[in-house]
Chain A
Amino acid sequence: MIAAAPIATPAVDLWAIAPIIALVATGVGLVLIRALLRRNQAVTPVCFSVAVVGLLVAAGLLARQWHRVRDDGPIVSLADMVRVDPFAVFLGIVIVAATLAGLLLAYAYLRREDLEAPEYFALLLLSAAGMLMMTTANDLVVVFVALEVLSIPLYVLVAFDRRRLRSQEAGLKYFVLGAFSSAVFLYGIALVYGATGTTSLSGIATFLAGNTLFEQTTLLVGLGLLLVGLGFKVAAVPFHMWTPDVYQGAPTPVTAFMAAATKAAAFAAVLRIVLTAFPQYRDDWRPILWVLAALSMLVGAVAALVQNDVKRTLAYSSIAHAGYILMGVYAASSRGREAALLYLLVYAFMAIGAFAVVMIAAPGPDDAKHSYDDYRGLAVRRPVLGGLLIFFVLAQAGVPLTSGFVGKLELFGSVAQAGETSDYVLLVIGVLSAVIAFAFYLRIAWTLVTAPDDDTAVAAAYSTRPRRVDGWTGIVLAGAAALTLVVGVLPGTFIHFARDAVFF
């Protein structure tokens, strides 16, 4: 008889991963429903309802987790690989909200573009599950798995408009560069493991605190590669090249989802890795983040100036916003983390709101016409819709009494608090970038309030019946606008919320 050696399995706290399970189960369930109902008329509404319910369940579970981890401290489970703390739950809530928006926006959109396929909902939920995993990951391997789980459905979603060449192109581009960045990230994990002998984030920190490395190159190159890999996902300059093409080519609800949720998830990984695993090496990674933040803010804002396409402009502006958030990471303080978290929350809603209007307002039968000429006079013809877009771009510009202002104020404040000369330089770069950004946000606003010229092409575009705002999109728009305004005017609650969430 061969005695089977007992295999030690780690304890699993199902509470810790319940929201992820809810999303994965719903995603898989959607595929099953699709298979069972086949081409039944009801398949899309049923799948949509199930997806909404799944997301609401996940949101409810997150809300429960929030109270639990805030009162009793973080839940660590699965052999220290998953760590549910206020930080993770906060970003999880942002991600679930963004996913819900991506879902609600897509319902009418898919019908309109004749793309009705419940697979969209399943992919969206699976990607969101990967993002939630990313926020709770306490191990580089889990971060990598989460990165893949969130990315692969996204590649498909970006290319979801199978009749539009740009969408296909965007999907392929995102896939190639995404796979490349994943490989770089993986290489980084290998080098860090080689240097420290562990992939656990807290394990790395413990090792580095207890030992002095004679040879630091391996570790530093590994850290650099990790940042490069995540730099792709957050779309920081110089790893931003894919962003404009993908944001422009992807179906607009997917763009909204990516801008809001992917950013939150990727920043979760950045914050956790640099602050949990490498606090001793802050003098090494802070200069890297300084450069990334400065370049992102400047390149994003300047490149957005010369675009002729609204979606592309917003894509470049999202690069600049990544730069602002990187300032908060760079500050490496509790205030910086709080500011970054708050900004991820408010940016998610500003971006979703802007892209939601873009989705409705673009003329023409498909989702391809987004040049400035296509938007000319929108605020005159449709005051509410145009006014909302103006409001969202002004919020992104950081005009007072919008959430964008409060968010930027916190981020700039965190850098000002750091107090070194290089911090002040970054602060000045940040405010200058915000001024440059004013120019293109105003250009959008100007386009919207100016009546179109008597150009036949433009006139033809407007001869088509204006698209109605469906109920689900209306909910998303109203929610995003309300949050953007409330955070701008009475930020207290949300700042407390973000402050509670800074704890790892």
Chain B
Amino acid sequence: MGFPLLLAIIVTPLVGAVVVALLPAARTEVAKALGYAFTGATAGLCGYLLWHFQAGDRGFQFVYDQPWIPGLGVRFTLGVDGISLFMVVVTGLLFPLGLLASEKYITHRVKAYVAWFLLLETAIMGIFLTLDLIAFFVFWELLLVPMYFLILGWGSARRKYAATKFFIYTGLGSAFLLASTLVLGFLHQADTGVLTFDFRTLADWNGLSGSAEVLLFVGFMAAFAIKAPLFPFHTWLPDVHTEAPTAGSVVLAGVIIKMGAYGFVRFSFELFPQASVDLAPILLVLAVVGIIYGAVVAAMQTDLKRVIAYSSVAHMGFVILGIFSLTVIGIDGAVFTMVSHPLTTGALFLLVGMIYERLHTREIGEMGGMWNVAPVLTGLFIAAMFAGIGLPGFSGFVGEFLSLAGAFLYDRPFAIVAALGVIFAAVYMLWPFKRAFAGRASGAVVRMKDLDLREIVVVVPLLALSLFLGLYPKPVLDRIEPAADRAVRNFERKTDYRSPEESRDRRDTERRVEREQRRAEAREGEK
């Protein structure tokens, strides 16, 4: 085993958090510099990971394995595949940008802020990289702590309510996750005599009775649906988004709410294939309701940040729709949306944060006429908005299209109703845009400054990346597809579910996998 890259990705921010926490409180500039250094280093490691990831491989790469809690058979197992790869990379990208965006916004207790922020990155990386269910739960639960203190310490007026709601609500979900995980592990032990929480081992085991599988699936779902957030478990999201500091919102929208969808693909699918197939229609209905409901409610909001928060509910509906279409295309689209949504929504949250810093309000009614006063801001907002709506050319379109295509193949009505959400998206974004940016400037808006270079540097990479992936999604899809293919094959192997033939060109996939394998062998041979 070579350099433990994945371990380094998790540990680097943790080390940073500890180092920053030990600094004297007065040295804010050192804390900031270290924050950039450690998030930057993590981003570098993620870039290295992306570069060396083998595109055609269906399994886990860079696997790292260490015993951790001996009595319970808990191991610290890390691994990355096409589904987690991009979540890790996006996380690595968002954190330095989030820190850069906080530059002006965070003025008090900078040191503590940076330390919590770094700890948050550790927790998120851990969630996406561990393959052991207990270790996964550890990071899943650990995430709540920095998030709680970030909202509490640097949020807006109703931050206590939001922070507590976030912690209790998601904590409730994870309680069921923990209980189900333990029950699953011990059922496996009772059957095979081996106590392990490595999900790959548990996924290979077929000893669950049907009702137990459904109950455990529901237990896992409680955690994932709340975090996703799937309608009707989404109510924490707008509150938390509104009260969280900008960087917190960006991370929340960017990666935290993807964890639920990730959990479904990674764990629920592999561990409970039969229950996943049986319950897919229910989840699809909830996803479609979420798409429509999120869009309608977003259109009703008077607070610009809440508009975007509810739009996230709708977007996550598309992700769940794609996942539970149980087709390769759908899962491709869902994971692609999970990659693209952080870019577009992240940019939108950053821009709203910048508006808030200038006007000290997020009420759309108190804006108006920003177009004339701040053309650069408006231009970027327009780009981010269209990216968010899913205009062809931006990454949002690719993901939504594939998700819808997957749902169409699974059962047409789902796709037809969900497609309305795309139209609603135009409504809820364009309407507030008109009110906030068009018209005559008045009040505080008149004296508003346009974006400075730092702010442009924060936003532009996200939009550029979104545009690039919208025009040329192949590199990302190439890496997602083997993992999505594995998930669907898993269903076909373990259940009587058969994915629709049209959902993929299987020969094409297989050919590519073989080609990549040959290439890999050739590379090995050269060495």
Binding site for B on A (CB under 8 A): 335, 338, 383, 394, 399-401, 405-406, 409-410, 412-413, 416-417, 419, 424, 427-428, 431-432, 434-435, 438-439, 442-443, 445-446, 449-450, 491-492, 495-496, 499
State whether A410 and B190 are in contact (beta carbons under 8 Å apart), knowing that A416-B183, A427-B183, A449-B153 are contacts in the complex.
Answer: no
Tell me which residues across on chain B come within 8 A of A399, comparing CB atoms.
Answer: 141-142, 144-145
Stretch from B169-177, B362-370, B510-518 forming part of the interface with A: B169-177
Q: When A and B form their complex, which 6 residue pairs have the shortest distance between CB atoms, in order from nearest?
A: A431-B175, A416-B182, A400-B138, A495-B71, A417-B186, A400-B142
Q: Is the CB of B178 within 8 A of A442?
A: no
**Across the interface, do B185 and A416 meet the contact criterion of CB distance under 8 Å?**
yes
Complex CA distance for A413 and B71, rounded to whole angstroms: 10
**What CA separation (Å) do A435 and B165 show in the bound complex?**
12
Can you offer 21 A-B residue contacts whose CB atoms are under 8 A?
A399-B141, A399-B142, A400-B139, A401-B138, A409-B182, A412-B178, A413-B72, A413-B182, A419-B187, A427-B182, A428-B176, A431-B175, A431-B178, A438-B168, A438-B171, A442-B168, A443-B164, A445-B149, A495-B70, A495-B71, A496-B70
A412 to B176, CA, bound (A): 12
CB of B423 closer than 8 Å to a CB of A: no
Cross-interface CB contact of B141 among A335, A400, A412, A449, cutoff 8 Å: A400
Q: Is B167 an interface residue (CB 8 A)?
A: yes
- In the complex, are the beta carbons of B175 and A432 less than 8 A apart? yes
Contacts of B71 in A (CB 8 A): 335, 338, 410, 495-496, 499
Contacts of B175 in A (CB 8 A): 431-432, 434-435
Indicate whether B457 reaches chain A with its CB closer than 8 angstroms.
no
Centre residue among A410, A431, A496 by max chain B CB count within 10 A: A431
B152 is an interface residue with CB less than 8 A from chain A: yes
Nearest Cβ on chain A to B401's Cβ, whole angstroms: 39
A435 near B69: Cβ-Cβ < 8 Å: no
Cα separation A390 to B142 with both chains bound (whole Å): 14
Interface membership of B358, Cβ < 8 A: no
Q: Which of B115-164 contact A (CB under 8 A)?
A: 134, 137-139, 141-142, 144-145, 148-149, 152-153, 160, 163-164
CB distance from A306 to the nearest CB of B (A): 15
A383 to B111, CA, bound (A): 12
B376 at interface, CB cutoff 8 A: no
The interface residues of chain B, by DSSP majority, are classed as helix
Give the complex CA separation of A409 and B141 in angstroms. Answer: 13
Does the CB pair B69–A492 fall under 8 Å? yes
Judge if B25 is at the interface, Cβ distance under 8 Å.
Answer: yes
Question: A412-B182, A416-B182 are known contacts. Are A405 and B164 too (CB-CB below 8 A)?
Answer: no
Contact between B168 and A439, CB atoms less than 8 A apart? yes
Question: Could you say which of A400, A431, A439, A443 contacts B179, with CB atoms under 8 Å apart?
Answer: A431
Q: How far is the CA of A413 from the CA of B185 in the complex (A)?
A: 9
Give the docked Cα–Cα distance between A409 and B179 (Å). 10
Given the complex of chains A and B, what is the CA–CA distance between A412 and B72 in angstroms?
11
Nearest B-chain residue to A415, judged by Cβ: B182
Are the CB atoms of A410 and B72 closer together than 8 Å? yes
Residue in A closest to B70 when the chains form the complex, CB atoms: A492
Chain A facing B: main interface SS: helix
Chain B positions within 8 Å of A492 at CB level: 67-70
Question: Is B189's CB within 8 Å of the partner chain A?
Answer: yes
Q: CA separation between A394 and B145, bound complex, in Å? A: 9
Instruction: Report how far A383 CA is from B137 CA in the complex, Å.
Output: 29
Residue of A nearest to B148 (CB): A442
Q: Would you call A401 and B142 a contact (CB within 8 A)? A: yes
> Whole-angstrom distance between the alpha carbons of A424 and B211 in the complex?
14
Chain A residue, CB-CB nearest to B176: A431
Neighbour of A439 across the interface among B142, B164, B186, B189, CB < 8 A: B164
Closest residue of B by beta carbon distance from A443 = B164
Residues of A contacting B190 in the complex (Cβ-Cβ under 8 angstroms)? 417, 419
Q: Give CA–CA (A224, B185) in the complex, Å.
A: 34
User: With a CB–CB cut-off of 8 A, which chain B residues contact A431?
Assistant: 175-176, 178-179
Cα of A37 to Cα of B121 in the assembled complex, Å: 60
Interface string of B293-321 (1 = CB under 8 A from A): 00000000000000000000000000000
B427 to chain A, nearest CB (A): 38
- Specify the chain B residue showing the minimal Cβ separation from A398: B141
Q: Are A446 and B152 in contact (CB under 8 A)?
A: yes
Q: Mark B453-485, 1 if CB is under 8 A from A, else 0.
A: 000000000000000000000000000000000
Whether B182 lies near A449 (C-beta < 8 A) is no
Taking a contact as CB atoms under 8 Å apart, the answer to whether A428 and B25 are in contact is no
- Residues 66-112 (chain B) with a chain A CB within 8 angstroms: 67-72
CA distance A435 to B174 in the complex (A): 9
Question: In the docked arrangement, what's the CA distance between A31 and B375, Å?
Answer: 84
In the complex, chain B residues whose CB is within 8 Å of the CB of A495:
69-71
Residues on A with C-beta less than 8 A from B25 are 383
Cα distance, A71 to B71, chains bound together (Å): 21
Give every chain A residue within 8 A of B189 (Cβ-Cβ). Answer: 417
Query: Is the beta-carbon distance between A413 and B186 smaller than 8 angstroms?
Result: yes
Which residue of the partner chain A has the closest CB to B21? A387
A442 touches B179 (CB 8 A): no
Give the Cβ gap from B65 to chain A, nearest Cβ, in Å: 15
From B149, B171, B190, name the one whose CB has the most chain A CB atoms within 10 angstroms: B171
Which chain A residues lie closer than 8 Å to B144 at the CB level?
399
B11 → chain A, closest Cβ, in Å?
Answer: 12
Give A427 to B164 CA distance when docked, in angstroms.
24
- Chain A residues within 8 Å of B69, by CB: 406, 409, 491-492, 495
Is B138's CB under 8 angstroms from A446's CB?
no
Contacts of B183 in A (CB 8 A): 416, 424, 427
Please name the residue on chain A nearest to B135 by beta carbon.
A400
Q: A399-B141, A400-B142 are in contact. List 11 more A-B contacts (CB 8 A).
A: A399-B142, A399-B144, A413-B182, A413-B186, A427-B179, A427-B182, A431-B176, A432-B175, A445-B148, A495-B71, A496-B70
Residues of A within 8 A of B67 (CB): 492
For residue A385, give the distance in angstroms from its CB to the closest CB of chain B: 14
A446 to B142, CA, bound (A): 17
> What are the residues of chain B within 8 A of A435 when measuring CB–CB?
168, 171-172, 175
What residues on A are CB-neighbors of B72 within 8 Å? 409-410, 413
Which residue of A is nearest B189, CB measured?
A417
Give the residue name and chain of the B residue nearest to A438 (CB): B171
Task: Tell me which residues across on chain A come within 8 A of B139, comparing CB atoms.
Answer: 400
Chain A residue nearest to B69 in the complex (CB): A491
C-alpha spacing A451/B293, complex, angstroms: 39
Cα–Cα, bound, A34→B141 (Å): 52
* A283–chain B nearest beta-carbon distance, Å: 20
Question: Using Cβ atoms and an 8 Å threshold, which residues of chain B touch A446?
Answer: 152, 160, 163-164
Complexed CA–CA distance, A244 and B153 (Å)? 31
Residues of chain B with a CB closer than 8 A to A338's CB: 71
Of B152, B167, B176, which contacts A438 at CB under 8 A? B167
B183 closest partner in A (C-beta) = A416
For the complex, what is the distance from the CA of A424 to the CA of B184, rounded to whole Å? 11
Bound-complex Cα distance A496 to B69 (A): 10
Tell me the complex Cα distance, A368–B410, Å.
Answer: 66
How near does chain A come to B146, taking the closest CB pair, in angstroms? 11
A504 CB to nearest chain B CB (Å)? 19
A276 to chain B, nearest CB (A): 23
B186 A416 Cβ-Cβ under 8 A: yes
Q: Which residue of A lies closest to B74 (CB)?
A: A409
- Collect the chain B residues with CB atoms within 8 Å of residue A335's CB: 71
Centre residue among B163, B179, B187 by max chain A CB count within 10 A: B179
